[in-house]
């Protein structure tokens, strides 16, 4: 008798909007892997029990999305170095009898910026707006590329400052409030706030960007996000949403689970067509 396919999924709250089932189904088809991938809406009080049941029932791996990425650190029995540094987990994998927690967000962003977009970030000035879970995940991989420096600006300045202090051993990184940093142009501005989700734009001095500044919104949705619209209106030639990062972080998770790296270009093109 043939074995049932290995079981994977994404856990979030809400999760109905998630594109991960579509992405992983395409990866599985392209790499001829037999697996199922579902979305589970799990409220915070049920997280521990539902994840434990999933793995006890033979589940092989989960993606973890909002609002559970920080709580998921405690669900893992072992953490990769990048997940430990980020103190946030977006991928769980059953490996050798242990539940491993990883964070593939930063690697996904760097892959999209450097491989798909062809950027070189060594020596660059980077501004990150926001100091939440996503910023935690992307800081170490960005600092590894040896930019001249990273400024984290956040609505709540103290969160930006404590995050900068936590990563200061990896490179030049400072934290501040919105409107409190010197508005010299940056080479790359990353919007890692969730302001786009409510149709808002974090306050940002126009002098922070030139037409050559690359603007990257981690958020994505149907059409352009407010941050992408804002950047284009100010003459920015390259303003991008986070779909590329989404697909690349998913490819990292898939490789961790299955030991095979899926190609991403076709999946990204399909998503862009779908999202408009």
The residues that are catalytic are 69
Q: Does 66 sit near ligand NAP (CB under 6 A)?
A: yes
For residue 178, count CB atoms less than 10 angstroms from its CB and return exposed for 0-12, middle for 13-18, buried for 19 or more: middle
**Contact by Cβ (8 Å): 55, 9:** no
Q: What is the residue whose two structure tokens read 């202090």?
A: 165
Helices 243-258, 265-275: crossing angle, 10 deg rounding: 140
Q: Which candidate, 267, 275, 266, places its Cα nearest to that of 240?
A: 275
CB 11 → ligand NAP: shortest distance, Å?
14
> Residue 88 or 99: which CB sits closer to ligand NAP?
88
Q: Does 159 sit near ligand NAP (CB under 6 A)?
A: yes
Distance CA 264, CA 241 (A): 16
Q: Which of the residues 130 through 149 are near ligand NAP (CB under 6 A)?
A: 130-135
- Give the tokens for residue 137: 């995940």
Q: What is the residue whose two structure tokens read 């059409």?
A: 223
Among 64, 83, 86, 192, binds ligand NAP (CB under 6 A): 192
> Residue 26 or 134: which CB sits closer to ligand NAP?
134
Among 242, 252, 253, 268, binds ligand NAP (CB under 6 A): 242
Q: Does 155 sit near ligand NAP (CB under 6 A)?
A: yes
CB 71 → ligand NAP: shortest distance, Å?
12
Residue 103 half-sphere exposure toward CB, CA atoms < 13 A: 29
Among 18, 196, 213, 253, binds ligand NAP (CB under 6 A): 196
Q: Does 91 sit near ligand NAP (CB under 6 A)?
A: no
CB 147 → ligand NAP: shortest distance, Å?
20
Strands 61-64 and 91-95: antiparallel
Question: What string marks each residue from 212 to 241 as x (binds ligand NAP by CB under 6 A) or -?
Answer: ------xxx---------------------
Among 74, 200, 212, 266, binds ligand NAP (CB under 6 A): 200
- Give the tokens for residue 202: 């974090």
Beta strands in the chain (DSSP E): 6-12, 35-41, 61-64, 78-79, 91-95, 98-102, 125-129, 149-154, 173-177, 188-191, 214-217, 238-240
Q: Does 267 sit near ligand NAP (CB under 6 A)?
A: no
Q: Does 195 sit near ligand NAP (CB under 6 A)?
A: yes
Which stretches of the chain bind ligand NAP, using CB under 6 A? 66, 105, 108, 130-135, 154-156, 159, 192-198, 200, 202, 218-220, 242, 245-246, 249
């Amino acid at each position: 008798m043939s074995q049932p396919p290995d079981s994977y999924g994404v856990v979030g709250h809400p999760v109905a909007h998630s594109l991960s089932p579509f992405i992983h189904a395409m990866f599985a088809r392209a790499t001829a892997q037999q697996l199922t991938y579902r979305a589970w809406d799990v409220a915070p009080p049920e997280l521990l029990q539902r994840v434990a049941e999933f793995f006890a029932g033979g589940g092989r791996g989960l993606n973890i999305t909002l609002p559970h990425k920080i709580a998921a650190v405690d669900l893992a029995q072992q953490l990769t170095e990048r997940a430990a540094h980020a103190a946030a987990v977006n991928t769980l994998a059953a490996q050798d009898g242990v539940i491993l927690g990883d964070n593939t967000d930063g690697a996904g962003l760097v892959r999209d910026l450097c491989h798909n977009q062809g950027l070189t970030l060594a020596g660059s000035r980077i501004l990150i707006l926001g100091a939440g879970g996503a910023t935690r995940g992307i800081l170490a991989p960005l600092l590894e590329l040896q930019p001249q420096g990273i400024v984290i600006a956040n609505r709540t300045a103290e969160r930006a400052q404590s995050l900068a202090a936590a990563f200061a051993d990896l490179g030049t990184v400072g934290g501040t409030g919105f409107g409190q940093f010197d508005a010299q142009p940056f080479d790359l501005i990353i919007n890692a706030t969730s302001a786009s989700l409510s149709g808002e734009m974090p306050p940002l001095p126009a002098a922070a960007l030139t037409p050559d500044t690359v603007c990257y919104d981690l958020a994505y949705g149907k059409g352009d996000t407010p941050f992408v619209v804002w950047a284009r209106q100010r003459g920015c030639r390259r303003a991008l949403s986070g779909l590329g990062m989404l697909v690349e972080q998913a490819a990292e998770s898939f490789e961790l689970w299955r030991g095979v790296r899926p190609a991403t270009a076709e999946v990204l093109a399909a998503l862009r067509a779908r999202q408009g």
